């Protein structure tokens, strides 16, 4: 048997159809496996631990997706781990129904039509200059400007004529820093010259010059300025559950870490830090999403405020019918309080602690 016959037999066999190993096993020895098995179930089945296997999982997973190395067999259950990949992070963020903001120097190609409500007012407000038409912001690098001149040789000729009138000594000195400054000034001040329409515009463009779509990566398909209607009326804010991950400065919300205003979570943070027998990650707090923005590099920057459901440590002498009476406002540990008072305080602060 020569090498060609062996290659043909191996190509048509099942061994050649095995996928390339993605990574090592989830747990145990670091031995490569062909591929991971991914099982997804609806939310109600996932809460019961039913993922279509021979037996239900020993405990509630809490997520609709799990990963395991091997299907269940007659010997044991598979080694299961919660799936926390990018897909489920995207799904959790979509449930928040937030509108992602983007930088104004580069409009979103998904809604870049002139009749779009997203960028119609933006295009009217931008000046009719070369920098605005080519989407060059104030943070544009010299390499981006140089690549633009290479693609548009006519702009290079116009820049030479402008440089000859404004600063003719630059042709002799050739200082790179000064030339870079003059080039940015030329793009920001010179008006764009539109060419006349020609029949070549009706031809199909080359695939290499096609604009790359950079939307919101599937995190949100909502647009700014559109009303979000609910059975209770128009929604003005976005309330989402989260956990404090760094004192009272950052919180985990929807699979992302958001910056939190310290003043809005000061009372909740004090209660969580003094709670006896519980970890700070066991408490779920309501947060109001103030802003969610996508950076030019694709990262998501979020800002949130804590939501105060009720008043904490209110004085009973005010005559309020739902005021909380403090037994001893100078105590140091929550273990010294009455358990009933602790439960009432959790309700007032909007805290939800998971029971062990």
Burial class (CB in 10 A: 0-12, 13-18, 19+), 208: exposed
Give residue-wise pLDDT tens across range 191-231: 666 556 666 666 655 544 444 555 677 788 777 777 778 88
Q: Is residue 355 predicted with pLDDT exceeding 60?
A: no
Q: Is residue 337 predicted with pLDDT exceeding 70?
A: no
Predicted pLDDT of residue 27: 45
3-state secondary structure (DSSP) of residue 251:
strand
**How far is C-alpha 29 from the geometric centre of its chain's CA atoms?**
34
**How far is C-alpha 156 from the geometric centre of its chain's CA atoms?**
39
Which tokens go with 189?
Answer: 């001040």
Mean pLDDT (the chain, rounded): 66
Instruction: Place 238 in a pLDDT band, splitting at 50, 70 and 90.
Output: confident
**How far is C-alpha 146 from the geometric centre of its chain's CA atoms?**
31
Q: What are the C-alpha distances in Å from 26 to residues 29, 63, 223, 287, 296?
A: 9, 17, 39, 33, 33
Which tokens go with 214?
Answer: 């950079």
Q: Is 58 left (phi over 0), alpha (psi -120 to 50) or beta?
A: alpha
Across 88-97, 200-209, 294-303, 324-333, least confident range: 324-333
Question: What does 228-250 look like in DSSP terms, one character per residue?
Answer: -EETTEE----EEEEEEEETTTE
d(CA 31, CA 26): 10
Greatest mean pLDDT among 11-15, 79-83, 269-273, 288-292 lies in: 288-292
The DSSP 8-state label assigned to residue 99 in this structure reads -
pTM for the model stands at 0.44
Residue ranges of domains in the chain: 35-83, 109-209, 234-353
Question: What does 104-147 look like in DSSP terms, one character per residue?
Answer: TTS--GGG-STT-TTTHHHHHHS-SBHHHHTT--TT--HHHHHH
3-state secondary structure (DSSP) of residue 158:
helix
Residue pointed to by tokens 């066991």: 282
Burial class (CB in 10 A: 0-12, 13-18, 19+), 36: middle
Predicted pLDDT of residue 140: 65
Give residue-wise pLDDT tens across range 68-118: 655 555 555 555 666 556 777 888 888 888 888 876 555 555 554 444 444
Beta bridge partners of 10: none
């Amino acid at each position: 048997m020569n090498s060609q016959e062996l290659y043909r037999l191996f190509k048509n066999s099942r061994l050649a159809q095995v996928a390339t190993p993605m990574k090592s096993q989830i747990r145990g020895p670091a031995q490569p496996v062909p591929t991971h098995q991914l099982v997804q179930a609806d939310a109600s089945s996932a809460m019961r631990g039913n993922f279509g296997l021979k037996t239900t999982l020993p405990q509630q997973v809490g997520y609709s997706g799990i990963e395991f190395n091997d299907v269940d067999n007659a010997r044991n259950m598979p080694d299961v781990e919660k799936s926390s990949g990018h897909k489920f992070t995207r799904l959790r963020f979509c449930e928040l129904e937030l509108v992602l903001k983007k930088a104004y120097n580069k409009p979103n190609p998904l809604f870049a039509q002139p009749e779009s409500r997203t960028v119609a007012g933006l295009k009217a407000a931008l000046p009719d200059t070369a920098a605005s038409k080519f989407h060059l912001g104030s943070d544009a690098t010299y390499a981006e400007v140089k690549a633009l001149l290479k693609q548009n040789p006519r702009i290079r000729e116009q820049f030479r004529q402008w440089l000859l009138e404004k600063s003719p000594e630059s042709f002799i000195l050739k200082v790179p820093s000064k030339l870079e400054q003059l080039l940015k000034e030329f793009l920001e001040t010179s008006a764009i010259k539109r060419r006349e329409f020609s029949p070549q515009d009706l031809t199909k463009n080359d695939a290499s010059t096609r604009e790359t779509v950079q939307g919101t990566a599937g995190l949100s398909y909502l647009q700014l300025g559109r009303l979000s209607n609910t059975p209770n009326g128009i929604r003005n804010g976005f309330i989402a559950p989260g956990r404090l991950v760094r004192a009272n400065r950052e919180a985990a919300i929807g699979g992302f870490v958001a910056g939190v205003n310290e003043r809005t979570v000061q009372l909740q943070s004090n209660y969580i830090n003094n709670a006896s027998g519980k970890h700070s990650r066991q408490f779920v707090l309501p947060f109001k999403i103030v802003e969610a923005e996508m950076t030019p590099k694709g990262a998501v920057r979020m800002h949130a405020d804590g939501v105060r459901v009720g008043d904490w440590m209110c004085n009973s002498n005010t005559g309020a019918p739902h005021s909380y009476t403090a037994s001893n406002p100078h105590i140091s540990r929550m273990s010294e309080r009455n358990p009933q008072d602790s439960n009432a305080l959790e309700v007032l602060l909007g805290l939800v602690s998971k029971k062990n």
